[in-house]
Amino acid sequence: MKFVITCFVLSVFSTIVFPQQSQWKTFYSGNQIHSISTRGNDLWVGTNFGLAHIDLTTDQIQLYDKTNTKQALNDTRYVYIRKNGDLLLNSYNNFGFTYYNGAAWYDRGTLYNITGIIETNGDSIWVSSKYSGIEQYYIPNIFSVRSTLILNSKNSELPTNNVSDMKFDKEGNLWIATFEYDFRNTNLGGVSKFDGNNWTIYNQNNSPIPTDQITKIEFDKNGNLWIGTNGKGLIEYTGNDWIRYDTLSLSPLTRVADISAISVDSLNNIWVGTMWNGLLKFDGSKWEIFNGANSNLRSNMIRALRTDNRGRLWVGTLVGLYRFENGNFKEFNTSNSILPSTKNLDAIKDSKGNIWFISMDYGSPYNSDKTNNGIVEYDGTEFRFYSAKEISSFNESFLTITADPWGNIWAANLGGLYKYDGNKWYQYYHYLRDKFQPSKISADYLGNIWIGTYDGNLVKFDGKDFIEYLSKDYMLPNSSIRGMTADALNLYISFNEPTDFIIKIDISKSSTNLVFDNIIQPPTQVNDLVKDSYGNLWAGTTSGLRKYNGIEWITYNKTNSGILGDDVISVTTSGKNVYTISRNEYSIGLSVFDGDTWKNYTYNNSDLALKYFSSVQIDKNNNVWLVGNGGVSILNSNGVELNWTLEKTNNNKLFQNFPNPGNPNTIIKYIINKKSNVTLKVYDILGREIVTLLNQTVGKGTHFISWNGKNSLGKYVSSGIYIYNIVSDNFTDSKKMIILK
Per-residue pLDDT at 15: 29
Per-residue pLDDT at 443: 95
For 87-115, write each residue's pLDDT tens digit. Answer: 999 887 555 678 888 888 877 655 668 99
Question: Residue ranges per domain, the chain?
Answer: 660-739
Q: Is 349 in contact with 443 (CB distance < 8 Å)?
A: no
User: Of the ranges 4-13, 99-108, 391-400, 572-581, which one carries the lowest mean pLDDT score?
Assistant: 4-13
Question: Which of residues 394 and 664 earns the better pLDDT score?
Answer: 664
Alpha carbons 643 and 661: distance in angstroms, whole number: 26
What average pLDDT does the segment 134-152 reach? 73
What number does CATH give the domain 660-739?
2.60.40.4070
Per-residue pLDDT at 664: 86
For 486-527, write each residue's pLDDT tens digit. Answer: 988 889 988 876 656 688 888 877 554 555 444 555 557 889
Residues 35-61 as b/e (b if ≥16 CB within 10 A, e otherwise) read bbbbbeebbbbbbbbbbbbbebeebbb
Report the candidate in 32, 105, 108, 114 with the shortest Cα–Cα distance to residue 64. 105
Which residues on neighbouring strands pair with residue 668, listed in sequence order?
Answer: 705
Confidence of residue 554 (pLDDT cuts 50, 70, 90): very high
Confidence of residue 553 (pLDDT cuts 50, 70, 90): confident
Confidence of residue 68 (pLDDT cuts 50, 70, 90): confident
Alpha carbons 513 and 467: distance in angstroms, whole number: 9
Q: Is 571 in contact with 616 (CB distance < 8 Å)?
A: yes
Please state whether 187 falls in left (phi above 0), alpha (psi between -120 and 50) or beta.
alpha
Flag whether pLDDT at 273 surpasses 80.
Answer: yes
Q: Is 414 in contact with 430 (CB distance < 8 Å)?
A: no
Report the candidate in 40, 72, 34 with the shortest Cα–Cα distance to residue 52. 34
Confidence of residue 711 (pLDDT cuts 50, 70, 90): very high
Per-residue pLDDT at 367: 53
What average pLDDT does the segment 654-658 reach? 84
What average pLDDT does the segment 177-201 reach? 84
DSSP 246-261: SEE--SS-EE---EEE
The length of the chain in residues reads 741
Q: How many CB atoms lie within 10 A of CB 205?
A: 10
Question: Which of residues 182 and 100 earns the better pLDDT score?
Answer: 100
For 671-698, write each residue's pLDDT tens digit. Answer: 887 788 899 999 998 889 999 999 988 8
Residue 524: which residues within 8 A CB-CB, separation 6 or more? 499, 500, 541, 542, 543, 544, 546
Flag whether pLDDT at 2 surpasses 50.
Answer: no
Strands 190-194 and 174-178: antiparallel
What average pLDDT does the segment 360-389 reach? 74
Report the candidate in 475, 471, 450, 474 with the shortest Cα–Cα distance to residue 460. 450
Confidence of residue 479 (pLDDT cuts 50, 70, 90): confident
Question: Which of residues 589 and 655 earns the better pLDDT score?
Answer: 589
For 578-596, write each residue's pLDDT tens digit. Answer: 999 999 988 899 999 999 9
Flag whether pLDDT at 471 surpasses 90.
Answer: no
What average pLDDT does the segment 428-453 reach? 81
Per-residue pLDDT at 433: 54
User: Of the ranges 8-17, 69-78, 208-217, 284-293, which one carries the lowest mean pLDDT score?
Assistant: 8-17
Per-residue pLDDT at 500: 61
Rg (CA), the chain: 28
Backbone torsions φ then ψ of 403, nearest 5 degrees: -125, 140
Q: Is 163 in contact with 134 (CB distance < 8 Å)?
A: yes
What average pLDDT does the segment 353-371 reach? 71
Per-residue pLDDT at 182: 63
The DSSP code for 184 is: G
